[in-house]
Amino acid sequence: MKNILPSPLQYKNNTLYFAGIRLDTIARNKRTPFYLYSKKTLRHYYEYFSKSAAKNGIVSPLVCYALKANSNKDVLSTLKTMGSGADVVSVGELKKALKAGIDPQKIVFSGVAKTEDEIRFALKCGKKGIYSFNVESIEELDMINSIAKKLKTRARVAFRLNPRVNAKTHKHISTGNKTHKFGLLKEDILEAMDVAALWTNTNLVGLSIHIGSQLTELNATIKAIEELSKLALKLETPLEFLDVGGGLGIDYTAEERSKLASIDTYMKAVSDAFEKYYYSKTDHCPRIVFEPGRIIVGKMGVLVSRVVRTKISDSNHFTIIDAGMNDLIRPALYEAYHEVLPAQTSKQMIKTDIVGPICETSDCFGTGRKLPKLNAGDLVVIDNVGAYGQTMASTYNERQIATEYFI
Ligand SMILES: *Cc1c(COP(=O)(O)O)cnc(C)c1O
């Protein structure tokens, strides 16, 4: 099976091009480091994802793009135009989604710490408030109910089930195990349903899961859908939707490229699992909601940086670049691998550690990487940073936030 996910990068005659334009031309007169995104690649992934859902028989799919992956306003307006909804985890993200023109009735609100102010805002936006509060505790449900009561309205809510599965991914981005803070255990949801009359101002409209991020295989996802389906069948209320969350991974490394589940494989697996565990056992026909983040935006962007200098210390060779962990924290935070590519290739390669300017040893983008011998001012790109790049940036060491450009 072909798993190669298209990228805007390409070498022609040893020179790096981004979206068909020479990188050195793009970088001329721009302060480095900067984020560079391809609109064509962004559109490709959203379109591929939503078409694949339809092609694989997913029931009335609703794609709620997870803003936390990349909340750039051009990303949001592009996705909005293509019909996307939004998955938000704060009122800040909710406001950005609304500003991009995304219909509140296509917005789901996740997160364990929704505050009173956030809940009030979400209940009051648009004509009918948001599509769903994906509730992560009974305490939260109590709060939503009492605020809805005060506002003389009804809140649309979904329980986020903690399906007790172990998603095979980095421990910091796994979210569906019973020791994690996310979601509600099945027995707690069933107990709450026994006294559902207490929540006079909420309507239970769905169930959701989200088991983790950068998932490369589907066993845990299928198991979680089985758990979600069993619970949905047990509840006597008819539901409007079942939400499978996000999490589908992208190929950061050659190894991932060979074993990664493709979008089509994922959709087929989700579709088959719901058919087997849910639709074949009931007359109800709730729609399926997706909350993809990384798979939509991950491949569209690079971080463009210039070499400040090189340094040799004992047997170590360092290539010091002007991008740091404040611009892209994934390597430091998750030991994430990102390819570092030179603007000009050469036959003569050396082994070098690519490090940034921040005063932390973890400010390192790669050790023992094969790169040409670079000089001060030479351009490099850090690849596959469209997701969880700029949105996780900080001003640590009093550095500026890197500008984002679209081609
Ligand atoms: C982060 C998150 C997502 C998106 O995850 P990806 O791995 O980027 O697809 C979706 N839903 C929830 C609740 C999240 O927290």
The answer to whether 376 and 309 have CB atoms below 8 angstroms apart is yes
Residue 390 clears pLDDT 70, i.e. is over it: yes
pLDDT of residue 353: 98
At which residue do the structure tokens 């997706």 appear?
290
How many whole angstroms separate alpha carbon 225 and alpha carbon 136?
A: 18
Which of the listed residues 107, 162, 213, 330 should we mutate to test ligand 1's pocket, taking the one with most ligand atoms within 8 A of CB?
Answer: 213
How many whole angstroms separate alpha carbon 282 and alpha carbon 289?
A: 19
How many whole angstroms separate alpha carbon 160 and alpha carbon 179?
A: 15
User: If you measure from the C-alpha of residue 27 to the centroid of ligand 1, how many angstroms do you get, rounded to a whole number?
Assistant: 32
pLDDT of residue 2: 46
Residue 359 clears pLDDT 80, i.e. is over it: yes
406 phi, psi to nearest 5 deg: -110, 140
Residue 303 clears pLDDT 50, i.e. is over it: yes
How many whole angstroms separate alpha carbon 311 and alpha carbon 290?
A: 47
pLDDT of residue 4: 58
User: If you measure from the C-alpha of residue 244 to the centroid of ligand 1, how many angstroms do you get, rounded to a whole number?
Assistant: 10
110 phi, psi to nearest 5 deg: -105, 175
What one-character-per-residue DSSP string does 269-311 give? HHHHHHHHHTGGG-S---EEEE---HHHHGGGEEEEEEEEEEE
Instruction: Kindly report which listed range (185-189, 253-257, 271-275) carries the lowest average pLDDT score.
Output: 253-257
Which among 281, 284, 246, 280 is positioned nearest to 266, based on CA atoms? 246
The answer to whether 107 and 130 have CB atoms below 8 angstroms apart is yes
> CB under 6 Å to ligand 1: residues?
66, 68-69, 87, 89, 110, 210, 213, 245-248, 291-294, 387
How many whole angstroms separate alpha carbon 402 and alpha carbon 304?
A: 10
| Atom of ligand 1 lying closest to residue 68 CA | 1
Contacts of 151 (CB under 8 A, 6+ apart): 120, 123, 124
How many whole angstroms separate alpha carbon 1 and alpha carbon 369?
A: 29
C-alpha distances out from residue 92 to 17, 67, 201, 261, Å = 35, 10, 25, 32
Q: Distance from CA of residue 207 to its chain's centroid?
A: 20
The answer to whether 307 and 375 have CB atoms below 8 angstroms apart is yes
User: If you measure from the C-alpha of residue 213 to the centroid of ligand 1, how many angstroms do you get, rounded to a whole number?
Assistant: 6
Domains and CATH numbers, the chain: 9-37+300-406 (2.40.37.10), 39-298 (3.20.20.10)
User: If you measure from the C-alpha of residue 290 to the centroid of ligand 1, how many angstroms do you get, rounded to a whole number?
Assistant: 9
Q: Is the dihedral angle over the CA atoms 234, 236, 241, 245 positive or is it negative?
A: negative
The answer to whether 208 and 134 have CB atoms below 8 angstroms apart is yes
Q: Quickly state the pLDDT bin for 167 (edges 50, 70, 90).
A: confident
Which among 387, 397, 392 is positioned nearest to 75, based on CA atoms? 387
Cβ-based burial of 321 (10 A; exposed 0-12, middle 13-18, buried ≥19): buried
User: If you measure from the C-alpha of residue 173 to the centroid of ligand 1, how many angstroms do you get, rounded to a whole number?
Assistant: 9
Choosing from 64, 125, 359, 364, the catalytic residue is 359
Name which residue sits closest to atom 3 of ligand 1, judged by CA.
246
Please state whether beta strands 287-290 and 241-243 pair in parallel, antiparallel, or not at all (unpaired).
Answer: parallel
Which of the listed residues 110, 112, 252, 263 should we mutate to test ligand 1's pocket, taking the one with most ligand atoms within 8 A of CB?
Answer: 110
pLDDT of residue 178: 79
Residue 372 tokens, joined: 């040409």
Mean pLDDT of all residues in the chain?
96
Over the stretch 242-257, which tens digit does the pLDDT of each residue have? Answer: 999 999 999 999 889 8
Give the bridge partners for 34, in sequence order: 304, 403
Which of the listed residues 63, 87, 169, 299 should we mutate to test ligand 1's pocket, taking the one with most ligand atoms within 8 A of CB?
Answer: 87
**Element (DSSP H or E) covering residue 241:** strand 241-243
- Whether 359 is catalytic is yes
Percent of the chain with pLDDT strictly greater than 90: 92
Cα dihedral value 257, 260, 264, 266, nearest 10:
-160
Q: Quickly state the pLDDT bin for 5 (edges 50, 70, 90).
A: confident
Residue 311 clears pLDDT 70, i.e. is over it: yes
What one-character-per-residue DSSP string does 16-37 give? EEETTEEHHHHHTT-PSSEEEE
